[in-house]
Amino acid sequence: MTTKENFASTGDRLGSRKVAEDLMRKLRFPVFGSPMFIVSTPELVIEQCKAGIVGSIPALNARPKELLRDWIVQIKEELAAYDLAHPDAPSAPFAINHIAHRTNERLGHDMQVVADEEVPLVIVSLAAPKEIFDAVHSYGGLVFNDVINARHGLKCAEAGVDGLIAVCAGAGGHTGNISPFALVPEIREFWDGPLGLGGAIGTGRAVRAAEVLGADFAYVGTAFIAAHEANAHEGYKQMLLESIAEDIVTSDKLTGVRASFMRRSLEMQGLGEKLASDKAAVKGFGEEGSSAKAWRDVWSAGQGVGASREHRPAAEIVAQLKREYDAVA
């Protein structure tokens, strides 16, 4: 059976519209601040949630791993205090991101902390193991999986995921290479539940476009790298503000998985030409210091960089996205 027939043969669509609608009612407008390795901080998550969008952070950003519980408690306490003071405009839920890869030795520990603290949303990158679904569902949380193609999306849907996020061409970090115009309708063939769309979304108009295409929410990372609360080197933020889409290159040679980087940051590390010509040398860069070195020393951003024009608080970034979104009613 071809993949296409396989999608069609699922008959009843998987996923729940009610879960999508209930979640969207908790947001001031349909945006998730996506998790970014090193760059996301508890302060960024708190500001995103206070501004009414989902804020998220990779568990791996907490080092040593014991810090993860402190961060989650900090996020919960600050949002609870905010909600008490703002009963008419409560904060949005927050999410913790796990990389479900065999090389992630912390996954068991991090998942236990997330379950103990009853984190409302868990975003899993790569393959989501059943134990994660069970652990999160046991306390009433939701598990979302990011996917870069429909085949992976269908697998996650069949495994019982609550939400899917289509990471399409132009995304920062590990990116897909399929156009959102192709991937969103393919996923909607078999999926009724919450669907996010990521990749180069940096304006409120683009958030609206994601909805028009069939997604429930936009998944936005790069637009928050220049936020005051983001943990990015000043040089990184400055380069981002100066960059446009054509300054972004995509390669799998640094981390083994296709990812987007700013060309000038590769050149600063002497990797510009090597990336094109010397596979082994560049791969060594990723292996020797683990992928952390790649993300710290070579700066990732998606093709939506052109929308970032100034350093400013995350709350202002969200406010601008919302104004632009509202203007395209």
Interface residues with ligand FMN (CB under 6 A) are 34-37, 39, 58, 97, 125, 146, 167, 170-173, 198-201, 219-222, 300-302, 304
**Nearer Cβ to ligand FMN, position 7 or 314?**
314
Cα 327 from Cα 95, distance rounded (Å): 28
State the Cα–Cα distance between residues 215 and 145, nearest whole angstrom. Answer: 14
Cβ at position 18, least distance to ligand FMN in Å: 26
For residue 98, the minimal CB distance to ligand FMN (Å) is: 9
Rank residues 7 and 243 by Cβ distance to ligand FMN and give the closer one.
243
Of the pair 93, 170, the CB lying nearest ligand FMN is at 170
C-alpha to C-alpha distance for 292 and 269, rounded to whole angstroms: 15
Tell me the closest approach of the beta carbon of residue 3 to ligand FMN, in angstroms.
Answer: 23
**Of 7 and 178, CB closest to ligand FMN:** 178
Residue located via tokens 């919450």: 194
Kindly list the strands in the beta sheet with 142-147, ordered across the sheet, starting from the edge strand earlier in the chain. 31-33, 217-220, 195-198, 163-167, 142-147, 121-126, 94-100, 55-58
Between 13 and 106, name the residue whose CB sits nearer to ligand FMN. 106
Please state, in angstroms and rounded to a whole number, the distance separating the CA atoms of residues 35 and 65: 17
Nearest approach, Cβ of residue 189 and ligand FMN (Å): 22
Closer to ligand FMN by Cβ: residue 7 or 202 = 202
Cβ neighbours, 10 Å, residue 263:
16
- The structure tokens listed for 17 are 């519209």
Amino acid sitting at position 126: L
Beta bridge partners of 143: 122
Kindly state the smallest distance separating residue 329's Cβ from ligand FMN, in Å.
23
Smallest distance from ligand FMN to CB 134, Å: 21
Backbone angles phi, psi at 198, to 5 degrees: -125, 155
